[in-house]
Amino acid sequence: MSRIAAVRVYPIVVPLRRAHRTAHETRADASMALVEVRTDDGIAGYGQVSSTPLKDVCEWVTRFAEVVTGMDALAYVAAWDKLFGLTSPRVDGGGLPRGARPQIMAAIGGIDMALWDIQGKAAGAPVFRLLGAENKPVYTYATGGYYVEGEKLTACADELAGFVANGFTSVKLKTGAASMKDEVARIRATREAIGPGVSLMLDMNAAYDLPACIEFARAVEPYDIVWLEEPLHWYLQPADFARLAQATPIPLAHGEREITRFTARDFIASGAIRYIQFDATRYAGFTEALRVAHIADEHGVMISPHHAPELHCHLVAAFPRTGFAVESHGAPEDSDPVSTGLFAERAQVRDSHVHMNEKPGFGIEVDWDFVKKHGA
C-alpha cells in the first residue's frame, strides 16, 4: 500500500508587468501555493492553490501534513473527509477556527489535488481517463479587460479583439468597476471589435446590488451576452439570483467563491444559474469539484470551472453533456505569469481549446528553477 510520507508547500509570487484591478480589488502580483505530496514508494503528486492570504494557506497545508502523513495515498476521499471533519466544532472543544475556513478549505484543496495527481501516476493514466473521459479537446475562452491606470476607456476592445485574432472564439470581459454609462460603452466597443460571431461573457466580480444589476443587464442585452458572471454582491444568495434571472434573459454564472458543494448545490438547485464555476484550485480541491459537477449534471447546469485550464480540463472532459468550457487568460504573461512559468509540461491551449496530453496524473511537470526564482 502506498502511503503519504511527506507534504510540502511552496509559496510563489510573481510581480505583474502592470498592476490592474477588477470591480473589487487591485492586484500588483500573481501568487500560488504549489503543494507537493510524496509517497513512501517514491511517487510525487502536485496540487495548486490560488487562494489568499498565501501565508495563511501555506501554514494550514503544513499543519494538515501532520494529519494525513501515514494515510493511504490512494484513498483521497478518506483524506478529504478527515481534514474536512476538523472544520466542525466538537463537544471536546476541538475544531478549527471559523474565521479561517476559506484558507482551511483552500489548503485541503491543494493536498487533495496532489493526491489525485498521485492516483493517476500510480495507475499510469491521466486523471481524465480515471474519470472515463475521452482525450478530446476541451473548449476554452480567454479572459481579459482588466482595468489599468491610465488606459483609455475602450482599451479592452482592442485587447479582446487581439485574443480573437489569436484563435479564441469566446472572450470574457471584466466589468463593474466604472459607471453604468462607461461600462456600457466598454461593452459596446468590445462587441464591435470582436464581431458578431464571437461569444462574449461579462465577469462582474460581485459589483452590483439587485436593482442596479437588473438595470445593468437590461442595458447590455443588445450586445448578445453569453452570461453575467458573479453579478451580485457577495452576501446575496440563491433567492436574489433567482429574482435577477427572472428579470433578464441573459444566463447567470456563479460559483468560484463557494467553498463547498453544499452552497454550490443551493445555487444549482434554485434554477437561478445556468453555469457553475466551482474552482478546485481556490477551495476544496478536485474531489469536491467533481461532486459539484455531478450535481450540476443532474440539474442540466453547464460546468465551466474558474481558472487553471490544465487541471479543470480533466473535469470538464468527464461530462460530455454539460461540460461547457474552462477559463484561460488571453494575455497570461500580463495577468497569470505564475501558471505561465510554473510548468515545464502541461496541457496546451490553442484554437480556443485545451489539448490534453497522455501523461499520468494531471499531465504537468513543474519547472523547479521557476519555483526557486519566485519562491516567497
What CATH number does residue 259 fall under? 3.20.20.120
Taking the CA atoms of residue 276, residue 282, residue 288 and residue 290 in that order, the dihedral angle to the nearest 10 degrees is: 50
**Average pLDDT of the chain to the nearest whole number:** 97
Determine the Cα angle at 9 with ends 314 and 57, to 5°: 85
Query: Is 250:227 a contact under the CB 8 Å cutoff?
Result: yes
> End of a domain among 103, 125, 147?
125
User: What pLDDT score was predicted for residue 24?
Assistant: 87
Given a cut of 90, whether residue 92 has pLDDT beyond it is no
Give yes or no: residues 246 and 364 share one domain: yes
Give yes or no: residues 180 and 262 share one domain: yes
Among the listed residues 269, 156, 275, 162, the one whose alpha carbon sits nearest the alpha carbon of residue 226: 275
- Domain hosting residue 24, numbered range: 4-125
Please classify residue 338 by burial: count the beta carbons closer than 10 Å to its beta carbon, then call 0-12 exposed, 13-18 middle and 19+ buried.
buried
Q: What are phi and psi of 175, to 5 degrees?
A: -140, 170
Give yes or no: residues 137 and 121 share one domain: no
Give yes or no: residues 140 and 197 share one domain: yes
Query: Per this entry, what is the length of the chain?
Result: 376
Give yes or no: residues 9 and 142 share one domain: no
Given a cut of 80, whether residue 202 has pLDDT beyond it is yes
**CA 327 to CA 142: how far, in whole Å?**
6
pTM of the model: 0.97
Query: Is 242:273 a contact under the CB 8 Å cutoff?
Result: no
User: What pLDDT score was predicted for residue 77?
Assistant: 98
**CA 204 to CA 233: how far, in whole Å?**
10
* Alpha carbon 246 to its chain's center: 27
- Residue 26, C-alpha cell as written in the block: 487591485
Give yes or no: residues 102 and 178 share one domain: no
End-to-end CA distance of the chain: 35
Residue 344 within a domain: yes
For residues 251-274, b (16+ Cβ closer than 10 Å) or e, as one string? bbbbbbbbbbbebbbebbebebbb
Give yes or no: residues 188 and 147 share one domain: yes
Give yes or no: residues 315 and 330 share one domain: yes
pLDDT tens for residues 23-80? Answer: 989 999 999 999 999 999 999 999 999 999 999 999 999 999 999 999 999 999 999 9
- Cell numbers 466580480 label which residue? 205
Residue 376 within a domain: no
Give yes or no: residues 197 and 307 share one domain: yes
pLDDT interval class at 93 (50, 70, 90): low
In sequence order, the β-bridge partners of residue 366 are: 343
Give yes or no: residues 234 and 345 share one domain: yes
Q: Over range 214-243, report the average pLDDT.
A: 98
Single-letter residue type at 214: I
pLDDT interval class at 89 (50, 70, 90): confident
**CA 353 to CA 199: how far, in whole Å?**
14
What CATH number does residue 34 fall under? 3.30.390.10
> End of a domain among 106, 125, 144?
125
User: What pLDDT score was predicted for residue 1?
Assistant: 83
Query: Is 322:274 a contact under the CB 8 Å cutoff?
Result: no
In sequence order, the β-bridge partners of residue 6 are: 38
Tally the domains of the chain.
2
Residue 48 within a domain: yes
> End of a domain among 79, 109, 125?
125
Give yes or no: residues 171 and 99 share one domain: no
Query: Among 97-101, 106-110, 141-145, 198-202, whose mean pLDDT is lowest?
Result: 97-101
Give yes or no: residues 182 and 203 share one domain: yes
Residue 375 within a domain: no
pLDDT tens for residues 153-164? Answer: 999 999 999 999
Q: What are phi and psi of 221, to 5 degrees?
A: -55, -35
Given a cut of 90, whether residue 9 has pLDDT beyond it is yes
Per-position DSSP letters for 147-213, written without gaps between them: B-TT--TTHHHHHHHHHHHTT-SEEEEE-SSS-HHHHHHHHHHHHHHH-TTSEEEEE-TT-B-HHHH
Q: 247 CB contacts (<8 Å, ≥6 apart)? A: 214, 217, 218
pLDDT interval class at 275 (50, 70, 90): very high
Q: Over range 280-298, report the average pLDDT.
A: 98
